[in-house]
A and B are shown apart, each in its own frame.
Chain A
Amino acid sequence: MDTDSAELVRLTLLEGGASPQLVASLIPSRPLEEGEQYRFHFDMTKCIGCRSCEVACNEQNGNPADIKWRRVGELEGGVYPHVSRTYLSMGCNHCISADCLKGCPVDAYTKDPITGIVMHSADACIGCQYCVWNCPYSVPQFNPERGVVGKCDMCRERLLDNREPACVNACPENAIQIEIVNKIAWTEDYSLAESPGMPAAGQTISTTRITLPQSSTAATAWLDRVDTGSIALEHAHPSLVVMTTAMQASFGLLCGLALVRNVDAVSLLLLLLVTAAALNVSVFHLGRPAYAWRALKMWRRSWLSREVLCFTLFFGFVAAATLCAWTPLFPWHLSMQRLVSPLAWAAIASGAAGTYASASIYLVKARPSWNMVHTPLDFFLSSALVGIPLLSVLARPALIITELLRRHGLEVARPHFTLYPRLLAITACLWIVNQLVRVARLRVSAIFEHRASFHHLRGEQLWWCVALSWICALQAILFLFAPLHWMALLSLLAATAAVLLNRYLFFVSVVPLSMGLTFIRDRGTHGRAAA
C-alpha cells in the first residue's frame, strides 16, 4: 500500500509519460533568448471554473487560506438562454512596466533578468504595502502573519527545473500555460492581454495572454464582472490616518508660527513632540517596523521613500531649530538663535515637499478615487484646518511654560498668539468645498471605481461618518466665533475630528482596480459594502 518508487509523483513531464505535444504546450521547450521573457497564457475557452489552480497555488506556497496568489473570477453576459458565463484565473501578470516595482521604497521587487518574472523578496520587504496600492490587478497581498507582502512568482524555481508551475500542473483542462514573449513586440501590441473583467493592460503592460471566447454572439460580447455589487471596504490603516493628520498638523503649525513670526523655543518644542509622535505612529503601519529605515532607500524612484525622506528632514530641521532656539539658556552662552529662522524655513520647505510627497503616494492609477487633484488639495487644506486652531491652542501651554521658565530665571522669548477666525473660516470652507466637489465628481464619473467609492460613501456603513466629518469642519468655525473660553480647544478638536474622519473615509472607501472576482466569496474582515 505504501510506495517509495520515484516515478509515482511526477508531473505531466516527458519522463512522466506525457505526450511531447502536451508538455510543449504547457511550458516552453526552448531556452529564453535576448529580449524575451516568460508569461502566462490563460485560455478562457478551456477553463471550467473548477478552481483547482487556486488550491494548488496555496498548497505550493504554504499560504494561509485567506491569501490567494492565484484567484478565479467569474464573468457573465447575455440573456437566457443565450447567456455566457466564463472564468478568469489569474496569478501575477509579470508586467513589462510593473508599478509594484516602481513604487517599492525598499527595492524588494526585481524583474528577473533571466525570466522576466516580477519577483518579490520577503527578506527585503518592510510590509509598507505600497505595492498593494500600486498594482492594478491587486496581485500583491499582505500577509499579517509574516508582516510582509507576497505574490505569485510563476513558480520560478520549478520553471528553471523544467517543471510546470503548480497552477499549470493542477489545471485539469490545460487552460493555463507558460509561454515565451518578446518584450519589445509585446510592448508595441499587447492587445491580447485585454479581457473583460481585467483592468486595461496598457498601464503596466501585462504580459498574460488571454484567449477569449469568440465574440460572435451577443452573450460573449457583453461579458462583464459579476462581483461589482459586493465590493468590501478597504483596510482603514489607522496608523496612517493618525500619522498623516498629525504630520499635516505639524506642518501647518510650523507654517503658522513662521507666518506670525513667533518661532519661539517653547512652541518649537511642542511642535517637535507632535512630529516625533506622528513619525513613531507611522512606523506601525509597517508590517516590520524595525526596518523602517530601509524606506529611505529608493528616494530616486518611490514617492514613499521621498515622503519618508522629506519628513525625516522636516523632523531634523525642527529638532535643529528647537535646539538653536534653546541655546541662549545653555551655560556656555553660545547663542545660535540666528539660525532658528532659516532652519524653520528649511523645515517648512521639507514639510511642504513631504506633504506633497505624501499626497503623491496616493496618486496611483490603480486607486482611481485617490488619484484626483483633491488628494493633494485635501492634504494641504487639512494642514491649515488643524494647524490654525492648533496655533491658538498652543498659546496657553506655551505661555504657561514660558512663565514658569522665566520664574526660574531663564530668559526665553515670550510667545504671542492670537486667534485667526476668518482665516480658519476660509480654510474650513475651502476644505469642505474640496470634499463636496470630490464626492460630486465621484458620483458622476465614467470610471466604475469612482462610482463604487461614491456608493461606499453614501452607503449605510459610511454616510453618517461623511456627515459627521463635514459637521465637525463647520463646528471648527462656529466654535471659534463663539465668545467662550476654551473655544479654541473645541475648535481644534472639531477640526482634528473632521480631518481624522475624512482620512478614515479616504482609506476605507477607495475601490482599487482589480480583476473580476466571484459572486459568492468570503469578503474578508473589512465587512460588507453597503450597496
Chain B
Amino acid sequence: MSFIAKKNAATQRANATSEERIALARPTLLQRLTRWLGLDNKSSLYRYAHDPRFGYISESRVADKWTKTTCGYCSVGCGMLIGTKEGRPVAARGNPDHPVNLGKLCPKGLSEHLIVEAPGRATQPMLRRNGRRSPLEPVSWDEALDVMVNRIGYIQQRYGRESLGVISTGQLLTEEFYTLGKLVQLGFRTSNYDGNTTLCMASAVSGYKLSFGSDGPPGAYADMDTADVVLLIGANIADNHPILCNRLRKRPGQLLIVVDPRVTKTAMMADMHLPVKPRSDIALINGIAHILLRDGLIDRNYLEQHAEGLDAFISFVADYTPEVVSETAGLSVAVLESVAGLYGHAKSAFIGWTMGVNHSTQGAMTVAAINNLSLLTGNIGRPGSSPFSITGQCNAMGSREASFTSSLPGYRKFESAEDREELAQLWNVNASELPAKRGFAYPDIIEASVRGEVKALWIIATNPVVSFPNHNLLKQAFDTADFIVVQDGFYPTPTMEYADLVLPAAIWGEKEGTYTNSERRVSKVNAFAVPPAEARSDFDIFLAIAERLGVRDRIYPGWSSTQDAWLEWQRVSAGRMCDYSSFTWQQVEDEGGIQWGGERLYRDGIFPRANGRALLHCVPCVPFAEQPDAEFDFILNTGRTVEHWHTRTKTGQVKLLDAMVPNAWLEMNPVDAERLSLRQHDRITVTSRRASVPDVELRITGIVAPGQVFMPFHFAEHNSNLVTLGDFDPISREPNYKQCAVRVERTSWN
C-alpha cells in the first residue's frame, strides 16, 4: 500500500479535496512555518503552462505523450486521448476525430484518467485462510492460483463440473471475453457461465433473436442524426449516455418523443413526453401498431417480402384500440393518435430503448413489440430507420459476441449441431466438448447456489452485492457457496466481503485490446499505465489459470498477448454476422473504430431466420407482478445519475464526481409527501416485502408521478437492491428492477 501511496502522490493530489491536499503534502517544519505566516509556498502547484496542443492550462495537466483509447464507462464508446506526463496519466480529452463523440466527453470520461491511480485499487491477491470469518490476508500469486484451482477442482470432483458458476461482466476486452469463454468451457468445463450483461442487455439480445433470428443491434448512432422521428422508450440518455444527446435536436423538423413514467432529463429534451403508467409500454406500442394498421400507415411491400406472422398480428392488435390503450397507459386518445400518426408518416423513424424496457419480466417480448413497429413501417435497414438498443457497459457487446454466455462465440447457437461442429473444428477440439444448451443464466446460477447445486463461484469485474436484485437471496447464495473468488480492479468492493479469494486485476488504461459499442463499432483500447503493484491483467490471469489446469497449450496455443486472442477471434468470427476478420487492430485505431456488419444491418431485408423473414410477435400487455396494495402503496422505480457509474467502484474513487452526488435519494411526488407528512430532506426508510433501506434522503419533486417513487441504484450505502424484486424475464432472465411495491416511512432510530 505504501508503494502505491508513494507512486500516486501527484495524481492523488489531482484527485483530492483541498483539505486532503493539505494532509497529503506532509509539509516540513519550515514549510509549515512559512505557510502559517502566509507565504504562498503552493503557488508552483497552481501554475499554468502552455500545452503545445491544448493551449493554456494548469501546468499539472500538461502531457508529454497522448494515447488514443476508448472510454471504459458506458457503451456509447467515446474516443479519447489520455495525456501522460512521465508515464503517469494527467489528462483525459475527447478525440475530435472519433466519429462517435467528435471530441466531447461526459463528466465521467473527462475525469477517467484519475481512476487508474485512485486510492482504492486492488494491489495484491488476498486469501481467507480460515473461512469467511477470518480476515483476507495477502498471499502470493502462486499460492492464490494454486488455492483457486485446487479448491475448484476439489469441488468439481465432488459435486460435478457444473458445480462451478462463473459470473463475468461487460467491462473486459473482447479478447479477454473470448479467452475467458474458452477457459470456462474447455478448461473448467462448466456451462454455468454468464455475464452481468444479463442484468442489463439480455432482453435486447433475446428480443432481437425473437424477431430477427439473431442478436445484433441493427442501427447506428448516425440514424439518430438523420431520423425524422426519434422515439425513445425507457431510455434516459441524458443521464446515462449523455454524449448521444448531441445527435438530437440538431436537424430542423426532427421530432423527439420520449416515453418514460418519470420526467427525466431526456424527457425535458423531448418535443413530446409520454408519461406512461409503469409497464404500459407494451400497450402503447401495440396501440400504435393498431392505429398504423387501421390507417394504412404500414409498408405493405416490405411486410410481404420480409416478414411473417402479419395475419395473426393484425387480429391480435385489433383489441388494442386507442380507447383501451388510453386507459392502460394513462395517455389521452388524442396523444396516441398523434404519436402513431407522426411515427407512421415519418420517412425515417428510429426507436431507441434502454433499461426501461430491458429491466422487466417482459423485457424480451417488449423488444419484440418494438421490432414489430419497425417491421410494420419498414423502418429498418435504412438511414435514420432502426430499432436500436442503447447498450450499458463499454463492452457488453464484446461479451455478447465473443464469450460463451448467451451464445457460442460468433452468435453461434448452442442448440445447432452445425454451429458446434464448426466451432469445434476451428478450435481443433471434439464437438462433444461443447455444450448443446446454454448453462444457467446469472440469476439461475445464484438460485442454484442457494439450492446447493453450484458450490463454487468465480466473480469477475462485477459487484453483485450492490447490483443484483433481492439482495437477501444473493446473500443466502454467497453464504451457502463453499468457495468464492472475486477478481476485480478495486479493493475492497462490497462483494469481497464474501470472497474467499481476491485476485487483483488490471483495469482500463492498463490493457490493450478492443471494445465494441452499442452500434457494433469495434474500437481500440490502449494501455497508458502499468497495473499497480502485483495486479495483473485479466488476460494474464486466465492464461495462468489455464496453465495450472494443464490446458494452456490446447486452448491457447502459442498465445502470449491479447493480440493472439484477437487473431483467433477474427478467424472464429469470420463469415459470421459479427465478422471481425475484415479489419486489423491498426485499422480500428486509425479509423476511430469500425462497425462490424457495416453502418446498419438488414439493408437487404434478409433476416437470419430459417426462411429469411423476420417474425411479427403477438405481445400481450401483462401488468407487472408486484402491484401496490394497502400495505406497500408505492411503485419503486430505479435508475441512474450522470455523475456515477453502476455500483461506484470506479466513480466513488473520483473525488470530484463523488462530491457532486455523495449519497442516494428517493424521489416522491409532493402529493404523496403531503399525505405522509414528509418534508424535503427527511430521512426515510423504503420497505418492500423483502427488506428495507433506512436513512435515505427524501427528495420531493414533481418529476415522479403520484404513487411512484424513484431511487438511484449506485449506492452500496443505500442499496436499492435490498428491496427490489427477484423476478426474472422467462426468456432473457433479466431482472425486473423497474417495478416493485414498497412503502415509505420516516426513518426511526429506536
Contacts and interface: CB of A to CB of B under 8 A. Distances in A.
Interface in B1-23: 14-22
Interface stretch (A296-304, A445-453, A517-525): A517-525
B66 to A, nearest CB: 6
Given A10-B96, A161-B55, A520-B665, A148 B655 contact: no
B106 A522 contact: no
A196 interface: no
Interface string B27-65: 000000001111110110110100111111111110001
Contact of B93 (A9, A84, A148): A9
A291 B110 CA distance: 38
Given A48-B245, A59-B61, A290-B39, A6 B52 contact: yes
Given A16-B96, A85-B703, A172-B245, A52 B53 contact: no
Contacts of A126: 38
B620 interface: no
Chain A at the B interface: SS class: loop
A520 B107 contact: no
Nearest to A67: B18
A52 B48 CA distance: 21
Nearest to A127: B38
Given A48-B269, A67-B18, A161-B55, 6 more contacts: A1-B526, A49-B642, A50-B238, A66-B655, A146-B46, A230-B681
A198 to B, nearest CB: 19
A66 B21 CA distance: 11
A520 B53 contact: no
Contacts of A226: 701
Contact of A9 (B66, B643, B661): B66
B663 A520 contact: yes
B67 interface: yes
A157 B242 contact: no
A81 B22 contact: no
A12 B659 CA distance: 29
Given A65-B17, A81-B273, A288-B38, A8 B95 contact: yes
Interface residues on B, range: 35 or more
Interface in B186-236: none
B594 to A, nearest CB: 16
Given A65-B659, A122-B40, A531-B679, A80 B275 contact: yes
A157 B50 CA distance: 10
A8 B52 contact: no
Interface of A: 1-4, 6, 8-12, 16-17, 46, 48-52, 54-56, 58-62, 64-67, 76-81, 83-86, 122-123, 126-127, 143-148, 155, 157-158, 161, 163, 166, 170-174, 226, 229-230, 286-292, 518-522, 525, 531
B720 interface: no
Contacts of B527: 1
A229 to B, nearest CB: 4
Nearest to A72: B660
Interface centre among B46, B105, B275 (most CB of A within 10 A): B46
A65 B589 contact: no
Contact of B660 (A51, A145, A287): A51
Given A9-B66, A50-B238, A147-B38, A56 B110 contact: yes
B103 interface: yes
Contact of A64 (B18, B266, B657, B662): B18
A145 B21 contact: yes
Nearest to B96: A16
B704 interface: yes
Contacts of B83: 9
Contacts of B17: 64-66
Contact of A80 (B51, B266, B669): B669
B697 interface: yes
B705 interface: yes
Contact of A143 (B18, B660, B706): B18
B243 interface: yes
A157 B245 contact: no
B66 A531 contact: no
B699 interface: yes
Interface in B642-672: 642-643, 655-663, 665, 669
Contact of A85 (B21, B249, B263): B263
B269 A80 contact: no
B702 interface: yes
B694 to A, nearest CB: 18
A2 to B, nearest CB: 5
A172 B52 CA distance: 23
22 contacts: A1-B526, A8-B66, A48-B245, A52-B106, A52-B242, A56-B110, A59-B57, A62-B59, A65-B16, A78-B702, A83-B701, A85-B268, A143-B18, A144-B18, A145-B25, A158-B57, A161-B55, A170-B110, A172-B105, A292-B38, A520-B663, A531-B681
B91 interface: yes
B570 interface: no
B18 A158 contact: no
B45 A62 contact: yes
B265 interface: yes
A80 B659 contact: no
Contacts of A521: 659-662
Contacts of B60: 62
A176 to B, nearest CB: 13
Contacts of B93: 9
B572 interface: no
B81 interface: yes
Contact of B104 (A145, A163, A172): A172
A490 to B, nearest CB: 36
Nearest to B654: A65
Contact of A8 (B21, B53, B102, B110): B53
B246 interface: yes
A229 B670 CA distance: 14
Contacts of A64: 16-18, 20-21
Interface in B240-293: 242-243, 245-246, 249, 263, 265-266, 268-269, 273, 275
B176 interface: no
